[in-house]
Amino acid sequence: MGISLCVFVNFLLVVVILNVFSMNTVNYVVEGAQSISKEEDMELGRQLKILNKPPIKIILSAWGDTYDCINIYKQPAFDHPLLRNHKIQMKPISELEQDRAQTSIFRARVERFPEGSVPIRMTEKQDFIRARLMSSTVSRSNDPSEYFAGMGYQNKDEKFYGATANMSVWQPNVTLDQYSLAEISIRSGWNDQSTRIHAGWMVNPMLYNNDSSVRYFIYWTAGCFNMLCPGFFQVHPEYTPDMPISDPSIYGKILNIIGYWPAEVFPLFGSVGAKRIYWGGYSRESEDGHAPQMGSGHFPLEYGYGKHGSYFTSMQYYNASGFLLDPNEKLMIKVLECKKNYDVEYFGFVEEVGHIFQYGGPGGKC
Ligand SMILES: *[C@@H]1O[C@H](CO)[C@@H](O)[C@H](O)[C@H]1NC(C)=O
Ligand SMILES: *[C@@H]1O[C@H](CO)[C@@H](O)[C@H](O)[C@H]1NC(C)=O
Ligand SMILES: *[C@@H]1O[C@H](CO)[C@@H](O)[C@H](O)[C@H]1NC(C)=O
Ligand SMILES: *[C@@H]1O[C@H](CO)[C@@H](O)[C@H](O)[C@H]1NC(C)=O
């Protein structure tokens, strides 16, 4: 199975599921409890109250997560200090209303989200605690227990205003304290203050109550996953940024715009654009120093070109005038950490598929 992902800097997230490709399924059980101090507990309670808006209705999804139907004009993004007066972009919504007329991906057809509402996964205290643990790590800067295998792009004469690619979807094996993902990320710079947006798929039981299904995710600078912080406006009446891709009700469907970040959330991108784009796989090892599978769990070319390989194709970017362009092949940089257990094979620009590379591997001690 493959997905096509598009991250615009100002600021739409488009997700399209492509053809069924291949997927391994495994079920893992892990332990997720964490302990916190009393003050932290109270602070979390306060945040939860802000985040969990009073729902119009509550729906249990086919995949077991509980979703609140929230009035689209009362969603948590309005709690972002710069977005109190934000006007939701209506155009995508009216286009998407047509989707609603088709079948509901949530369990029962009668269980539609009421008109004018969007599904937002109900947040529990443990979600915050896990996200906090995670966000101290996902920062792609200097955590020695995380590994990237993919391609980077940078051109000193140019700024990027979005990036896109088609990528294959897999279900890598992970344990309790590991995760494995594939993503597009755009960055305003390299230091800790730089702005970053990540979007892709991940297997991350730490973040999802022992759940090791493959899910879409978004993650941005402030340490925010999906809808856990105000900032991302959800406009799609059914699809959410944390949805499991493997659920049969979603499998093979075309998704449209799920939502967007207003430019105010990323002042740096708005004014100067992004300086670097990364496409690739990213993993975190367990405490005993074992890195999980990345992608399909096979090295690129292990079975020859195109078979069982985890791939990215059609990697492109948006320039300041909104043109979708192919990167300059000479400026593509291979980025590979933990060479023993992962690899990257870049094939350059290939007719019909565009820029293409394979990545991933079995994991192990790095
Ligand atoms: C996760 O799995 C472990 C082991 O089966 C169990 O003890 C724990 O309660 C589970 N946690 C959640 C949040 O379901
Ligand atoms: C995942 O791990 C289990 C248990 O070690 C193994 O049986 C299974 O083959 C693994 N799956 C993949 C895709 O490697
Ligand atoms: C974006 O790309 C198009 C097509 O190559 C070009 O005409 C335009 O000048 C570019 N815009 C900027 C700001 O570089
Ligand atoms: C990538 O996805 C887009 C959107 O679904 C599709 O039109 C395009 O053909 C795909 N490209 C490749 C190389 O698969």
pLDDT single digits (tens) 286-300:
989 999 999 989 999
Q: Assign residue 279 a region: left if phi > 0, alpha if psi is -120 to 50, beta otherwise?
A: beta
CB environment 323-338: b (16+ within 10 A), e (fewer): eeeebeeeebeeebbb
Residue type at 177 in one-letter notation: D
Q: What percentage of the chain carries pLDDT values higher than 90? A: 23
CB environment 225-256: b (16+ within 10 A), e (fewer): bbbbbbbbbbbbbbbbbbbbbbbebbeebebb
Confidence band (pLDDT; 50, 70, 90) for 98? very low
What pLDDT is attached to residue 99? 46
The reported pTM is 0.83
CA distance 80 to 228: 12
126 CB within 6 A, ligand 4:
no
What pLDDT is attached to residue 263? 73
Q: Which of 155, 158, 318, 323 to mutate to test the pocket of ligand 3 (most atoms within 8 A of CB)?
A: 323
What pLDDT is attached to residue 112? 63
CA distance 228 to 133: 13
CA of 30 to the centre of ligand 1 (A): 6
Sign, Cα dihedral of 53, 259, 274, 292: positive
| Cα 140 off chain centre by | 14
